Structure 1
């Protein structure tokens, strides 16, 4: 039996927050990506997503190995990934493919590197915009290249790779469904300091990060992924071994209508608390059978999401989350991370600097609070 040990939620090819290769795709290039599994096992397989592809995606070859530094891998750990016994794979348009299991002992918390070679043009590629770790690209077939020196381009996104699974019989996995706060914006890139990383270290349980920066509970976005009520099955329920779901969503639904400078989601609908509560209830309906933990929205006064309407709706949604009894458990992150001098603002010790996202210390506090109610 295989358990999902790492995930990245697929997104439509787009310009995203930082420069990436999703729209141009790959041709006669190798792509090397680093992931950190949160469960151990003796065999491993990967899931490749072509969710937003319009024609078949051809993978000319794939390998997996233990990570050293940068794009380097440990030579003795290199394993070929096969698909139905073949070295090559064709991922159908709007579909996915899972590799055959590879014999490679995996330890939770130790990074692995997956390399894909694209011999033919991929076209725009399904990706995850914000990885907060480096992915590397190089010309030609570099599947077996160990020191990484021929990978000469870098990005901070993941492409095609959507899950890593290990042969561990675990049924205690925790999935985190959220937006940029769950995705890890504000954490130190490459350091494993997102709150999902901190939670995995604290609990020694599989933790699946199903955050997408900018994601909304109720509406789709070209940049920020499908609405959470639509993607819950794909990004959480269809993964193996999950028994707990933590929901931290709604801040962008509330706040995007307050933003004037960045037209990334315009016109933004003005959302009322009753609509968001209905969205949360739909998540609860779909997740029936899991233990579902509701998290209150973090304070965000002073940010570009803040305004009179956003302030009122966020208070109403947080009150419902705390008092309705509809979630199995509530973790009150909104109060925990608040500035005692102004409870509608993030505590300065946790603020990344935009008054919206925590930094490493704030994410540790979030992980500690969630771990305490598991």
Structure 2
């Protein structure tokens, strides 16, 4: 086992070398031969979204990496009826729902502007002749000509989506988009060919990773800060970062609220290992299992239940030749989740994450984020106010606590 020192927190982080088989890169070579195709943006989707009827949905995509040869993924994975798509366009965002003049590009699927996506399916577009810079925003406009029924969506976008009646995919301006929401609908990914990146880091987790209580439209989730750290390093950017967090999500069991997603055990293969170019997954999940005392088969949760769940995810990743970096669960005293029994499980799970050697590396968010005077609670400087979720400053502190040497660049 190799031990390195966390540059920000000063805590010891462990890096466990993979076997030779696991060290093989999962990055997807570009068919153009000029770079690597990586995931630039990719929220996890759930069921339970609203219906649309003869409307254009214009969504903001914040790219974590520079690239060209863009493709988008549309998902009908969690809907029960086919999705009829009338038109899709992509453009560079000027501001709000307004596109930069002259940048709108038609998006095709199998060379067609129109498509029907069966219930439970996803479709990846043809390559779109548009480039994007690191941290730049694109606008993806999706027109649905009929009633969609319940949509596949990502509820907590912490960004603004613009809705217009009728087909306004080709509009540069935003005058027709009279309604705004803060969710993404059907849009599940942007991937690009990067001339410099060698792969994708997937941040996988619950509302803390999803950015709950971070500021809307400012890209201050901890994975956003991590992407900026990687981009600010000397030399070309070697990794993209995508956020596979879902608010309320659990490791072991599905959540009764449908928009909080199926369990990590069910979605990990698709949401994490299915991303283009994935090389590393940072796993931060389990506090909702603990806080809801949600063990398998309706039984009370034990630390061993969570550990068994983590082992299953690690095994699945290693079978795909992807590394998994485990993150310790952060304190929550003062939140309704906290009880002495729940705290005992959290401490036991964190001890296993730190010492078992099961993960390919460890990020000790618990040590980085806890109050030195009250270690069962978040540091007040990082607390958003609910004693569970970090605010913007806390999100940055989380990203700063990631030793970049843990990531396979």
- TM-score where L is the length of structure 1: 0.93
Name the residue aligned to 2:157.
131
CA distance in 2, matches of 1:135, 1:163: 15
Q: Deviations over 1:217-246 (max 9, x none)?
A: 000122310100110111011111111110
Q: What is the aligned-residue RMSD (CA, Å)?
A: 1.5
Q: 2:372 aligns with which of 340, 357, 367?
A: 340
For 1:1-374, list aligned pairs within 5 A: 1=30, 2-13=37-48, 22-23=49-50, 25-168=51-194, 170-204=197-231, 205-221=239-255, 222-257=258-293, 269-288=299-318, 289-372=321-404, 373-374=406-407
CA distance in 2, matches of 1:133, 1:366: 21
SS at match of 2:143: strand
Deviation at 1:173, TM superposition (A): 1.2
CA distance in 2, matches of 1:282, 1:257: 20
- Change over 3 Å in CA distance of 1:294–1:324 after alignment to 2: same
Would you say the 8 A contact 1:137–1:151 is kept in 2? Answer: yes
Would you say the 8 A contact 1:175–1:208 is kept in 2? Answer: yes
Q: Deviations over 1:238-268 (max 9, x none)?
A: 111111110101000000249xxxxxxxx97
Would you say the 8 A contact 1:256–1:268 is kept in 2? Answer: no
- Change over 3 Å in CA distance of 1:128–1:230 after alignment to 2: same
**Is there any run of 5+ residues in structure 2 with no aligned partner, and where?**
1-29, 31-36, 232-238
Deviation at 1:272, TM superposition (A): 0.6
CA distance in 1, matches of 2:169, 2:154: 22
CA distance in 2, matches of 1:271, 1:325: 23
Would you say the 8 A contact 1:244–1:292 is kept in 2? Answer: yes
Name the residue aligned to 1:19.
none
Would you say the 8 A contact 1:257–1:268 is kept in 2? Answer: no
CA distance in 2, matches of 1:367, 1:151: 35
CA distance in 1, matches of 2:403, 2:160: 28
CA distance in 2, matches of 1:9, 1:184: 13
Would you say the 8 A contact 2:363–2:403 is kept in 1? Answer: no
Runs of 4 or more consecutive aligned structure 1 residues displaced over 3 Å after TM superposition = none
- TM-score where L is the length of structure 2: 0.85
Deviates more, 1:160-169 or 1:325-334: 160-169
CA distance in 2, matches of 1:367, 1:300: 19
Would you say the 8 A contact 1:39–1:206 is kept in 2? Answer: yes
CA distance in 1, matches of 2:370, 2:330: 7
CA distance in 2, matches of 1:71, 1:84: 28
**Is there any run of 5+ residues in structure 1 with no aligned partner, and where?**
14-21, 259-266
Would you say the 8 A contact 1:52–1:94 is kept in 2? Answer: yes
State the number of aligned residues: 358
Would you say the 8 A contact 1:299–1:334 is kept in 2? Answer: yes
Deviation at 1:172, TM superposition (A): 2.5
Deviation at 1:108, TM superposition (A): 1.6
CA distance in 1, matches of 2:245, 2:228: 18
Deviation at 1:56, TM superposition (A): 1.4
